[in-house]
Chains A and B, each alone.
Chain A
Amino acid sequence: MFGAHCALLALLAGAAVSTVQAAPQEFAIDPAHTHVHWEIKHFGTSTSRGRFDAVSGGITLDRAARSGSASLTIATGSISTGFAPFDGLLRGPYLLSTTEFPSAYFVAQRFSFDGDKLSAVTGDFTLRNVGKTLTLRALNFACRQDTEPAREVCGGDFETEFERSAFGITHSLPFVADRVRVLIQIEAVRQ
């Protein structure tokens, strides 16, 4: 009797573990709703904005185990400010050197949750071949069920800041600020 009870417990425990293990789900970035936007102060006056249009990658999310991983590749040449001469300058050797460094990467292994809600994502950000640990704060993270096409979409807004000089980008300092605010829109479709 005691043995059977233990066996049942073990079985239940095993089932629980396998449920958690079965929970990781793969999501692919939806490029139409994934953009990396940035903001930088110009002459201590107004905020200049730009974005990277080509972002690809995938996310693994385990909502039961409250864990996840993400891998994003940002095509640096897809920078867009709305003013072509700036885009040319930003792609050039003084700033992003997009020919030499065509991609920036964010690879995250640590997803933090506040209750059921994703609150932060920590990973390695590589820009111009310089890698730094970066934490993205998650805002508005949610999953929804689309009907047309029928699919689950998870996403939200993520934000962080960094000093561009840490990645060797010092052109126009101090007239254009060192601090860059990054706002990331991400939506990803369950595979």
Chain B
Amino acid sequence: MTKTLLACLLAAGTVAAHAEATTYAIDPSHTFVTFEANHMGTSTLRGRFDKKEGSVVLDKAAKSGKAEITIDATSIDTGVAALDTHLKSKDFFNAAEFGTAKFTADKFAFTGDKVSEVVGTLTLLGKTQPVTLKASNFNCYVNPMLKREVCGGDFETTITRTQYGMSYGLAYGLPDNIHLLIQIEAVKQ
């Protein structure tokens, strides 16, 4: 009897937790991947990817989540056209062959009610490597224009580009470590 009750409660609990899982679609106007790279020991060069799509599944009760974001490698934008062309070439992103980069995550860590870390993989130049994004400012709010819940925040990580086979310019002093600053907002579906 007790066992059956426990099983029923567990089953109910599982159902409830599943019911909390909500899908959010990436808001492309408030979702950007910006990279920072030190330039020849002097200044910091920045660029971003303008086109991306994806979704996030968040279960606030179960404190779990999933994310899948696809980044269009051809949409790289540094504000300098000649540099964008070089970055899209085989020396760097080889965008003709590898048109997209993909971030997939299935482990969300929480501190209290806030997402604190997202653990997943980044596929770039056809190579997949583990990546952990550190979250700051995670928050959900009701957007008055959309009249829907929006969740998001700032995320950052540092990747080592040679792990993906991108080694151009190391000998000239271009860095191997690239800092990524990621803005994400996603709208409840």
Chains A and B belong together in one complex: yes
Mark A residues whose CB is within 8 Å of B.
31-33, 35, 37, 41-49, 51, 53, 80, 82-83, 85-86, 140, 142-144, 146, 153-157, 175, 183, 185-187
Mark B residues whose CB is within 8 Å of A.
28-30, 32, 34, 38-46, 48, 50, 77, 79-80, 82-83, 137-141, 143-144, 150-154, 181, 183-185
CA distance A41 to B46 in the complex (A): 19
Judging by beta carbons under 8 Å apart, are B82 and A32 in contact?
A: yes
Query: Chain A contacts of B80 at CB under 8 A?
Result: 31-32, 53
Judging by beta carbons under 8 Å apart, are B42 and A142 in contact?
A: yes
Select the residue from B42, B77, B82 with max chain A CB neighbours within 10 A.
Answer: B42
| A58 CB, min distance to chain B CBs, angstroms | 17
Judging by beta carbons under 8 Å apart, are B43 and A49 in contact?
A: no
Q: SS class of chain A's interface: helix, strand, loop or mixed?
A: strand
Judging by beta carbons under 8 Å apart, are B42 and A45 in contact?
A: no
Residue from the list A53, A83, A183 in contact with B79, Cβ < 8 A? A53
Query: Chain B contacts of A86 at CB under 8 A?
Result: 29
Judging by beta carbons under 8 Å apart, are B46 and A35 in contact?
A: yes
CA distance A45 to B40 in the complex (A): 34
Query: Chain B contacts of A186 at CB under 8 A?
Result: 43
Query: Chain A contacts of B79 at CB under 8 A?
Result: 35, 51, 53, 80
* Closest residue of A by beta carbon distance from B80: A32
Query: Chain B contacts of A83 at CB under 8 A?
Result: 28-29, 50
In the A-B complex, the 10 residue pairs with the smallest Cβ-Cβ separation, listed nearest first, are: A53-B79, A82-B50, A45-B139, A46-B152, A155-B43, A185-B43, A83-B29, A46-B183, A155-B42, A32-B80
CA distance A53 to B48 in the complex (A): 13
CA distance A75 to B34 in the complex (A): 22
Q: Known contacts A46-B183, A49-B34; is A185 also within 8 Å of B143 by CB?
A: no
Q: Known contacts A80-B79, A83-B28; is A37 also within 8 Å of B46 by CB?
A: yes
